Amino acid sequence: MSDIEAILARRHDNGADYWGTADGRIYVGNPFSTISSLGMLYELGVNKTHEAVQGGLRLILDAVRDDGRIRVAPKAPMYPCYTAEAARILCRFGLKTNVAVKRTIAYLLENTHESGGWRCSFTRFGRGPETEFANPGATLYTLDVVRWISKHRTSSKVVDRAVESLLEHWDTRKPIGPCHWGIGSQFMQIEYPFLRYNLFFYVYVLSFFERARSDSHFTAALHALESKLDDGKVVVEKTHRGLKGLVFCEKGIPSKPATARYREIQKNIRR
């Protein structure tokens, strides 16, 4: 069974079709939720015309509220991280000009945190001075949305400040934000597909922004990534345990789709 077939075979696991639940939850059952499954199919080159992809995208679009936030479950809070995680899938499949997606992008750009980037109000680890900062994970996910809009890559003060907050995090490395995202040994392992805050995802997204490409922190992160390549190919060091058996992200061997993302990084830094 191919990786694509294996992912499609899980489409009813959560109780309804398109990896969702009967009551409309699209972010449960990870890594085989609606959002994550569509993200993996995109990495594997499945076209948006595929009926399962179309069905999954409809579920996400139906979850977009009038103000642009995305409710990933009927009673779930609409945190920036959830909204951005869903929106970046819509953008990947070419829906950046969809009216609902435009609302979401506008909402995200209008609701940044004073420290730069985006912050969820949920405080998993209690409240301390470090939790008053924007959440690096939510910020990375959101930048993965706005990178699709070319004007925001080069001439947006809001986006530049968010980029700077991630570049600064490379220096401090301390766990910050309500969810305590830090840069440590786990972060430094090449993880693929892009499900969580990690070195490869960090360098990939930041490479799209002019403000990042000229910064020494980005250069250091890029060199750290490149030091791990095997003859120019990306070798996955870490993946979600639920993806065991999928070849495209198998631990310890070069990944063709992951290497294609590294080629995008190279293309971006040559601009």
Domain range annotation of the chain: 1-96, 112-271
User: So what's the pLDDT on residue 119?
Assistant: 85
User: pTM of the full predicted structure?
Assistant: 0.95
pLDDT single digits (tens) 248-267: 999 999 999 999 999 999 99
The two structure tokens encoding residue 27: 């972010």
Helix, strand, coil proportions of the chain in percent (round to 5)?
A: 50, 5, 50
- b/e string for 190-201 if b means 16 or more Cβ within 10 A? bbbbbbebbbbb
* Phi, psi dihedral angles at 102 (to 5 degrees): -60, -40
pLDDT single digits (tens) 32-82: 999 999 999 999 999 999 999 999 999 999 999 999 999 999 988 899 999
Asked if pLDDT for residue 115 goes beyond 70, the answer is yes
The two structure tokens encoding residue 258: 């992951």
CA distance 218 to 220: 5
User: So what's the pLDDT on residue 116?
Assistant: 83
User: So what's the pLDDT on residue 136?
Assistant: 93
Task: State the average pLDDT over residues 162-187.
Answer: 91
Asked if pLDDT for residue 152 goes beyond 90, the answer is no
Residue with tokens 């499609």, as numbered in its chain: 8
- b/e string for 222-260 if b means 16 or more Cβ within 10 A? bebbeeeeeeeebbbbbbbeebeebebbbbeeebebbbe
CA distance 108 to 156: 13
Asked if pLDDT for residue 187 goes beyond 60, the answer is yes
User: So what's the pLDDT on residue 129?
Assistant: 62
User: So what's the pLDDT on residue 126?
Assistant: 58
User: So what's the pLDDT on residue 124?
Assistant: 64
User: So what's the pLDDT on residue 271?
Assistant: 79
Asked if pLDDT for residue 180 goes beyond 80, the answer is no
User: So what's the pLDDT on residue 120?
Assistant: 81
Lowest mean pLDDT among 27-31, 49-53, 174-178, 201-205: 174-178
CA distance 71 to 218: 33
Residue with tokens 């405080």, as numbered in its chain: 123
